A = this chain, B = another copy of it.
Amino acid sequence: MADAERALELPGETLPTENGNEDSGPTEDAHIFEQFRVERGCLGYVVADPETRLAALVDPEVEMAEPMLDFVFEHGLKPAYVVDTHTHADHFSGSRELKAKTVAKIVMHEVAPASCVDIRVEDGDRLWLGGLPLKFLHTPGHAKDLVSVLLPGKILSADALLIGACGRTDLPNGNATRQYHTLYYVYRSLPEELSVYPGHDYQGRSHSTLGEEKRGNPKMLFDSEEAFVRYMERENPGKLSPVYQLADALKANMA
């Protein structure tokens, strides 16, 4: 669609080739990776294994579905998984459309309410695209069913960690204490070199590194759980605008 623009994030050696053949097998850091962006700052991703061409489509906002399919077919990829990192409250998921138009299975966390989910993952589970692992970390707080997706060298952090911020915890299924655990137990324990690809960015940025976030993200620099929870519950909501189409999006995405 016209209002979906791609931010290409491919390292040179993993550029997809026209005929689908790669001379070398996948290495730890060699995978096909593309970021998709729509209005209101939603970010989605296509990840694929260059050898088997198996692909995962992560957080397809409904307007991303067609551009993601164009990318998949242009590059000879085989959609295996559609991952919704959580029950989105601020946009409509394109997962059902992608499931209907491909053979991909929908993947979500085990507590996700949606009935269309084919594969339910828990903390620590892995799915494989050929030799490329997608590891799921349960990182709730913004939503109870939120998973981050760990790839070699990268993490797709959804709303668990945004560039310089984190997802709000005052929406349905949010919980500030769990968000504290997510940031201060899980994300602080992961390596600084990881590239962080969030689920939203309202300033046009594509990614960050976890080291930068650990050092500079105000949400990762609170002195105590109490102070963090107080801020997220009492001060933060007042600074935020009402969510666009909240009830309609939740109703559709939970169905």
Residue interface mask A231-243, B partner, CB < 8 A = 1: 0000000000000
Kindly state whether residue A96 has any CB partner on chain B within 8 Å.
Answer: no
Measured CA separation A189–B184 after assembly (Å): 7
Chain A contact residues: over half helix, strand or loop, or mixed?
A: helix
Name the interface size band of chain A: 10 to 19
Kindly state whether residue A119 has any CB partner on chain B within 8 Å.
Answer: no
Measured CA separation A181–B181 after assembly (Å): 12
CB-CB under 8 A from A175, the residues of chain B are 124
Kindly state whether residue A140 has any CB partner on chain B within 8 Å.
Answer: yes
User: Is there contact, CB below 8 Å, between B140 and A180?
Assistant: no
* Sample of 18 A–B contacts (CB below 8 Å): A122-B178, A123-B140, A123-B178, A123-B181, A124-B175, A124-B177, A124-B178, A124-B180, A124-B181, A125-B177, A137-B181, A181-B186, A184-B189, A185-B185, A185-B186, A185-B189, A188-B189, A189-B189
